[in-house]
Amino acid sequence: MQAAPPQHLNPRKRPRQARSVATVEAIFEATIQVLLREGIHRLTTTRVAERAGVSVGTMYQYFPHKQALLYALNEHYLDLVAERVEAACRAQYGASTEAMVEALVTAYWQAKTERSEVTRALYRSAVELDNEALIDAFAKRMDAATMAMLKSAPDADYASIDLVNVTLLSVIFGTVRNVFERNLPSAQQLAIRRQLATMCLSYLKASGG
């Protein structure tokens, strides 16, 4: 995610020695842990530092403030998700519409639910964070990835591919989050996921796929 972060959210300095690289990693990990175990209103710089096994001061060497830490964390996470979806899309170039939809739904769903507590924690950390730039960049990346995939379909000819594409993504991303947040039994989650894929496929077919 190379969205230029809002000025004030820039990291303070980059780790140069192996020691500090480890420190920064520990801080990220600790942030997730605290978020998970204590919730966002108990996510304290001191607590994070403590769990990371460093002192508060150290944290402030790399992040100018708490928000910057959370920003960086979200950036990292979205990057992982984006990469996985992109890879899944690339793998389907020239494939059938059916394979494309299946791959897209599966890739996104898994990326989000594999470590669902972490995902949940990050959703929470993002509230009240100026991360519009992050979300935008993510959306654009996903848009480009799926668009390229759809265009490579040998048997498809969409009337308005932009609209079809943005709809597809909105529906998939939205549904995943909704199911995810309702914390339904996993059997039901799986069933819905299948239905979703079916629904998207018939939508694409009807739209020229």
Helices (H), the chain: 18-38, 45-52, 56-62, 66-90, 97-113, 116-126, 132-151, 161-182, 186-206
- Contact partner, 154, from its own copies, DNA, none, Cβ < 5-8 Å per class: none
DSSP 68: H
Q: Residue 158 in contact with residue 207, Cβ under 8 Å?
A: yes
The 155-184 site mask, x for binding its own copies (CB under 8 A), equals: --------xx-xx--xx-xxxxxxx-xxxx
Q: How far is the CB of 25 from DNA (least distance, A)?
A: 11
CB of 30 to its own copies, least distance (A): 19
* Interface stretch with DNA, choices 20-28, 125-133, 147-155, 188-196 (CB under 7 A): 20-28
Q: For DNA, how many residues bind (rule: CB under 7 A)?
A: 27
16 binds, among DNA, its own copies, none (CB under 5 to 8 A by kind): DNA
Query: Residue 18, interface with DNA (CB under 7 A)?
Result: yes
Q: Is 13 in the site for DNA (CB under 7 A)?
A: yes
Closer by beta carbon to its own copies, 21 or else 191: 191
The pair of structure tokens assigned to 95 is 């494939």
Q: What is the DSSP string of 155-205?
A: T---TTHHHHHHHHHHHHHHHHHHHHHHT--HHHHHHHHHHHHHHHHHHHH
65 belongs to the binding site for its own copies (CB under 8 A):
no
Give the pair of three-digit tokens for residue 169. Answer: 């993504």
